[in-house]
Amino acid sequence: MEMDEIITRVKNGESHHFAHIVKHYEQKVFTTVIRIVKNRATAEDIVQDIFIKVFYSLHKYKKIGSFNAWLYRIVVNNCFDYLRIHKLQTTQIDSDVMYNRYPEKVLLLHERNEQLEKLLQQLDETEYMVLLLKYVNELSYDEISEVLQISLNDVRNKLHRSKRKLRSITMSKGGYFYEM
């Protein structure tokens, strides 16, 4: 069943089909949220809140833009709301660390992730979101434009500028991402 058909059925009262929407988007939404809030438990709560909002707001979704863009607008707004309220900086717990699998690989992965997070923190909020939506969530430029409510040229410019900024930083500091 196509996503448009599932959405239509849910909007027509067949709410049990909403589980298909959750199953289809849950992992990508969670990945986006955890990269923004940097805390697994908080991310899980926010993802749950997001899908509750999506369920109760689905009747407002018009097929003018893509469902992806509509959904990620809700995701981004919820994350920004959380950050505005809490302004917390926490670290993500890697599941391999919890289970102590391959300690040397876990250590290298953790170190690489820390360096990447430090690099990404040097970007402004919009540049960070453009990169996240493009490379983690694989949204198109048009969808990113719609989600962040910025022009298509701004999406292209911010993506180019953020990659150039990251490249410049890594060239000067070295580390895992020196070859970027």
Cβ atoms of 122 and 169 within 8 Å: the answer is yes
Entry pTM = 0.61
Tens digit of each residue's pLDDT (9 = 90 or more) over 62-113: 877 789 889 988 998 898 888 777 754 434 444 444 455 555 665 566 666 6
Secondary structure E strands in the chain:
none
pLDDT value of residue 87: 59
32 by Cβ neighbours in 10 Å (0-12 / 13-18 / 19+) ranks as: buried
User: Residue 53 and residue 66: Cα distance in Å, rounded?
Assistant: 17
User: Residue 36 and residue 149: Cα distance in Å, rounded?
Assistant: 18
Q: Which residues of the chain have pLDDT under 50?
A: 88-98, 178-180
pLDDT value of residue 99: 52
pLDDT value of residue 107: 59
pLDDT value of residue 103: 56
* Segments making up each domain of the chain, as ranges: 1-93
pLDDT value of residue 154: 93
- Per CATH, the number for 1-93 is 1.10.1740.10
pLDDT value of residue 100: 54
pLDDT value of residue 131: 86
| Nearby residues of 138 by Cβ (< 8 Å), 6 or more positions away | none
